[in-house]
Chains A and B, each alone.
Chain A
Amino acid sequence: MKKIRSLGGSVGRTFLTWKALSSFISLIAVLAFFYWQVGDILFNKSIVRGSILDLGVNWAIVAMPVAMLMISGEFDLSVGSVYALGACGIFKLFQVGLHPLLAFVIIIAACALIGLLHASITLRLGIPSFITTLAGMWFWRSVVNAMWQYTPTAPQSAINYFDNVFGVRLGGGWFYSKFLILVAIFAILWIVLERTPFGNSIFAAGGNYDAALARGSKPDRTKMVLFVLTSTLAGFAGVVSATSAGATMTNTATGLELYMIAAAVIGGASLTGGVGSVEGAFLGTFLLRYINTGVIQMGIESKWFQGIVGVVLLLAAVLNRNFRRRVIKRFT
């Protein structure tokens, strides 16, 4: 009996001190609100597969590394533009007739190099990443715009090459195969952050840079890896988006960077670094997708999407700051 109670206590404690609790609570609250407003319309197969998961997968692939980068104390405002570069760039390479796989390797390598460039400027020259990646946001968007004067197109055969990987309906039609890729990326990133020495160095780099340096935990190397990871996955998400939708636009993912930061913050990340989680960013992304879909289903103007995101963002930040402190004090 005592053992059961202590097990229950330990599960309860783990839950209450869970870093992503605020995003979980917010998600449940938002789902309950929309269920009350529009009923189970948000939970049918085509809405979940299409409106929630389709775009949600592309976004979550970006939100998770963005959160890790924020934990290390840095920002990446260029993810929307790099995402567009991935999407429009791979169409360009398809069009010039490269083998789809070669096109994929080239575009992913290019995005990794962009991350390396952002990291080098930030870390070597001591420019805040907010500035470096803001510059990157505009620069890479211009590159995309210069690449296509009209709507990007690509041979259907090349698109199908990837759509057959990313866009297969699975689970009785509830999701596309790319959702499994997201789950795999999630699992890897979670383990990296929570269960490796490298993950420990991420928290330390953002929590107390000088301490990390003094302990020999190499914070600059850690940040460099994360900049590269973030750009690489942003480009990858763009490729997934363009090939699984079969179309893209030069202005795709404009403004994505701020939603990614919102997802990370809803998931418990702080703007000053040192805290946050992969699962929080994951849940935060799908929360954003549900708000987006929910306001449309409610028939209120979709302009209210941003308004509601703003309110939820604030609520989550308040939960994180005030509620979490007290819970931790009590239960650890």
Chain B
Amino acid sequence: MSENDLLRCEDIHKYFGKVHALEGVDFDVGEAEVVGLVGDNGAGKSTLIKVVCGIFPPTKGKLFFKGEERHFSSPQESLQAGIESIQQDQALVEEMDIKRNFFLGREPKNNAGLLDVRKMARESMNGLSDMGLEIRSPDVEVNELSGGQRQGIAIARALHFNFDLIILDEPTNNLSIKESKKVYDYIRELKRNNLSAILISHAIQEVYPVSDRIVVLRNGKKIIDKAREEIEMEEVENAIIGDIVEEGETEHLMM
């Protein structure tokens, strides 16, 4: 854990009633780093992300962002600080066109105080083509687009607004191999722009190709945290489903 980590979570605990969902997790993301956060359903990864996004506070533990201790109490606060979380079903409004989606919640105004539709059209198209995503018009409604194109728009938007950290939930779920490769390109484009990302998935195959570091959660604890070069995909897979029994793990299971 270095001092210039973008995000640093220290000893995060989260109880839901008597359920100990996170048991002292340390988690950090460096500058321009892509971290794959994997684990089975119920391992605690979405709980951890919800703590990071301010959806609920940790029961115990500290959260630092850009070197400052933060207590996000709403998604808006973390958004303002520079953390963008892209849940697949919460990223875009299907019935709205691209330009309106791109600027939703941060609409530019012209001199008359009205929506600057031209600027919205121009900049959303620029944002997409910078990433190599060509769509015929900013007036196209999102429900006309493929899953990969939708991810592309969400990522381009995060890039455009200069978020520091982007959290992608199952970034290539339901996508074809070809489209998944494109989404990986978009994620690499984020890195090139000095942005960081957390990719959440229950399947290591989904995040391994593009992650710099792999973090595995299991039963609310961090059991692996290694650079990608230092770990094989099979090893991670086994850790997720629990073939490797870590120290203390048996005790936990027996309790």
Chain A 311-332 interface 0/1 with B at a Cβ cutoff of 8 Å (1 = within): 0000000000000000011001
Q: List 8 A-B contacts (CB under 8 A).
A: A197-B109, A199-B115, A211-B89, A215-B104, A216-B76, A216-B105, A274-B95, A332-B137
Interchain residue pairs A-B with the least CB separation, the first 8: A215-B105, A207-B93, A197-B107, A274-B95, A217-B105, A216-B105, A208-B93, A210-B90
Name the B residues within 8 Å of A213 (CB-CB): 75, 90
B133 within 8 A of A: no
- The size bracket of the interface on B is 20 to 34
Chain A 184-216 interface 0/1 with B at a Cβ cutoff of 8 Å (1 = within): 000000010011110111011001101111111
Q: A213-B75, A215-B104 are in contact. Are A204 and B96 (CB under 8 A)?
A: yes
Q: Which of B19-27, B139-147, B172-180 contacts A (4 or more CB under 8 A)?
A: B139-147
> How close is B79's CB to chain A, nearest CB, in angstroms?
6
A275 within 8 A of B: yes
Question: Given A197-B115, A332-B139, 17 other A-B contacts at CB below 8 A?
Answer: A194-B115, A195-B115, A199-B115, A201-B105, A203-B96, A204-B96, A207-B94, A208-B94, A210-B90, A212-B93, A212-B104, A214-B85, A214-B90, A216-B76, A274-B95, A328-B141, A332-B140
Residues of B66-89 contacting chain A, CB below 8 A: 75-76, 79, 85, 87, 89
Q: Is the CB of A200 within 8 A of B107?
A: yes
> How close is A228's CB to chain B, nearest CB, in angstroms?
21
Name the A residues within 8 Å of B90 (CB-CB): 208, 210-211, 213-214
Q: Is the CB of A329 within 8 A of B144?
A: yes
B117 within 8 A of A: yes
Q: A195-B115, A211-B92, A213-B75 are in contact. Are A200 and B100 (CB under 8 A)?
A: yes
B136 within 8 A of A: yes
- The size bracket of the interface on A is 20 to 34
Expressed in whole angstroms, the Cα–Cα distance for A32 and B142 within the complex equals 36
Expressed in whole angstroms, the Cα–Cα distance for A208 and B85 within the complex equals 16
Name the B residues within 8 Å of A329 (CB-CB): 144
Binding site for A on B (CB under 8 A): 75-76, 79, 85, 87, 89-97, 100, 103-107, 109, 114-115, 117, 136-137, 139-141, 144
Chain A 161-176 interface 0/1 with B at a Cβ cutoff of 8 Å (1 = within): 0000000000000000
Q: A211-B93, A332-B141 are in contact. Are A217 and B114 (CB under 8 A)?
A: no
Contact partner of A328 (CB less than 8 A), chosen from B92, B94, B103, B144, is B144
Name the A residues within 8 Å of B96 (CB-CB): 200, 203-204, 207, 274
Binding site for B on A (CB under 8 A): 17, 191, 194-197, 199-201, 203-204, 207-208, 210-217, 274-275, 328-329, 332
Expressed in whole angstroms, the Cα–Cα distance for A275 and B103 within the complex equals 18
> How close is A191's CB to chain B, nearest CB, in angstroms?
7
The closest CB in chain A to the CB of B138 belongs to A332
Name the B residues within 8 Å of A210 (CB-CB): 87, 89-90
The closest CB in chain B to the CB of A14 belongs to B139
Name the B residues within 8 Å of A332 (CB-CB): 97, 136-137, 139-141, 144
Q: Is the CB of A217 within 8 A of B75?
A: no
Q: Is the CB of B104 within 8 A of A196?
A: no
Expressed in whole angstroms, the Cα–Cα distance for A177 and B95 within the complex equals 37
Contact partner of A203 (CB less than 8 A), chosen from B85, B100, B114, is B100
Q: A328-B144, A332-B137 are in contact. Are A216 and B79 (CB under 8 A)?
A: yes
Expressed in whole angstroms, the Cα–Cα distance for A328 and B107 within the complex equals 24
Expressed in whole angstroms, the Cα–Cα distance for A204 and B92 within the complex equals 9
Name the A residues within 8 Å of B105 (CB-CB): 201, 204, 212, 215-217
Expressed in whole angstroms, the Cα–Cα distance for A288 and B93 within the complex equals 32
Q: Is the CB of B141 within 8 A of A211?
A: no
Expressed in whole angstroms, the Cα–Cα distance for A274 and B96 within the complex equals 8
Expressed in whole angstroms, the Cα–Cα distance for A201 and B95 within the complex equals 13
